[in-house]
Amino acid sequence: MTYWRGMSAAELGRAIGRGDLSPLWLAEDYLTAIRAHPAAGRIFARLTESRALAEADAAERRAKAGQRLSLLDGVPVSWKDLFDTAGVATEAGSRLLEGRVPLADAVVLRNATAAGLVCLGKTHMTELAFSGLGLNPMTATPPNVNDSALAPGGSSSGAAASVAFGLAAAAAGSDTGGSVRIPAAWNDLVGLKTTHGRLPMGGTVPLVERFDTVGPLTRTVEDAALMLAAFEGGKPADLRGASLKGARLLVMETVALDQCREGPLAAFEGALARLAEAGAQVERGSFAHLTEAMGLSGVLFTTEAYGIWRGAIEAEPDKMYGPVRERFRLGGQYSGMDFVAAWRRLRAIRSAWAERVAGYDAVLVPTAAILPPDAQRLETDPDYFAAENLLALRNTRIGNLMGLCALTLPTGVPSAGISLMGQPMGEERLLRLGAAAEVALKA
């Protein structure tokens, strides 16, 4: 990895602003690195070279004229292959969508382009975004940065790999049940799950529209804040002076620590100690209704996912990897009455959650209860795939079910992250807390 490609997106942006770095040279360097990388075909579904070079050239002219659009103007990023790109195939990791070419960019891509970000290309992902493991035998399974034999995490698997391997400065992903946070954690990155409804989903291939969110995968919390601003066409959170002193943090022991394996649990406890040393008040507690909420996941997620995709799946079922296809089909066992009742109950539980965690700055859990499993065994053992997938997504799903924003940070232990869950629409506050926690965790 060259010196520049090891830097954060914000550092690259500042270098461009100082005149120390050419956006056009930077884009060419990233594209050259991608073409030369032995796993490039497993990370990128397709490159958008002409677009990238044109956007970089425009960014360079703006920089020379002192008219930069944002701190990230001229910085190259990757996009998960469920964000529509005008005139370029967007297939959401599925053979069912092979040859699908949209006419317009997704809204968040359009916003990011207006902020000057350079689109390098589209990254591989789990089929239709419906698995947390990142395994996709039908198109490609990206490598894990810590061990190529392990699952990369999904569904934003290629997004994470593009950043972790130095092939993009940051990445755009999506999160319905953990699809940003799991690959971020397993590849030692920062991942932000935004509150449902915060960012526009127009031009994004859906999975479960009542839970789908857009989120960045980055090297730093600052980069996550900048990417969020680019996605929505707003201003980034002010992270200056962020501190953990006086912060009240609640360790959620209900469900989240059950069956948590030794590696992730030890990393989590070590991270908690460092947060406390930095001045945070760390408390432990429970929430009785959380177990019930988790039990509603089947009807809430699979019913809507199968309702959206049943026609396409059943028209050509052999185009899907069996375990993912069968996850969709689970939605067929529930009735409309089941779905309505589950949503009514979840809304009541969300209200109770808000009362329980009021007064805390964040709720903490291990990002995943497991470390990345063996990819080859996942592909050959359907029961293992199902069990590991459910356990991988269990903790992240808390944030989706409760309608929260959530941030995963590296703990310093490979592939083990710690998640901070904030209040709905509280991304700016969470990012400030995350910036302080990031410093403490690196100490």
> Which residues does the annotation mark as catalytic?
80, 155, 179
Is residue 52 within 8 A of residue 120, CB to CB? The reply is yes
Structure tokens at 254: 């209900």
Give the ranges where 333-426 is alpha helix by DSSP (H).
336-357, 375-380, 382-401
- How far apart are alpha carbons 434 and 272 in whole angstroms? 13
**Cβ burial, residue 33 (10 Å; 0-12/13-18/19+):** middle
Number of C-alpha atoms within 13 angstroms, CB side, residue 2? Answer: 18
Amino acid at 8: S
DSSP H or E segment with residue 312: helix 303-315
Note whether 167 and 40 are within 8 A (CB).
yes
d(CA 379, CA 321): 9
Structure tokens at 54: 């044109």
Torsion angles phi and psi, residue 268, rounded to 5: -65, -50
Residue 155 and residue 135 in contact, taking contact as beta carbons nearer than 8 Å? no
Q: What is the pairing mode between strands 213-218 and 171-175? A: antiparallel
Q: What are phi and psi of 422, to 5 degrees?
A: -110, -170
Distance (Å, whole) CA 21 – CA 65: 15
**Partners of 248 in the β-ladder:** 281
Rg from Cα positions in the chain: 20
CB neighbours of residue 21 within 10 Å: 21
Q: How many CA atoms lie within 13 A of 306 on its CB side?
A: 22
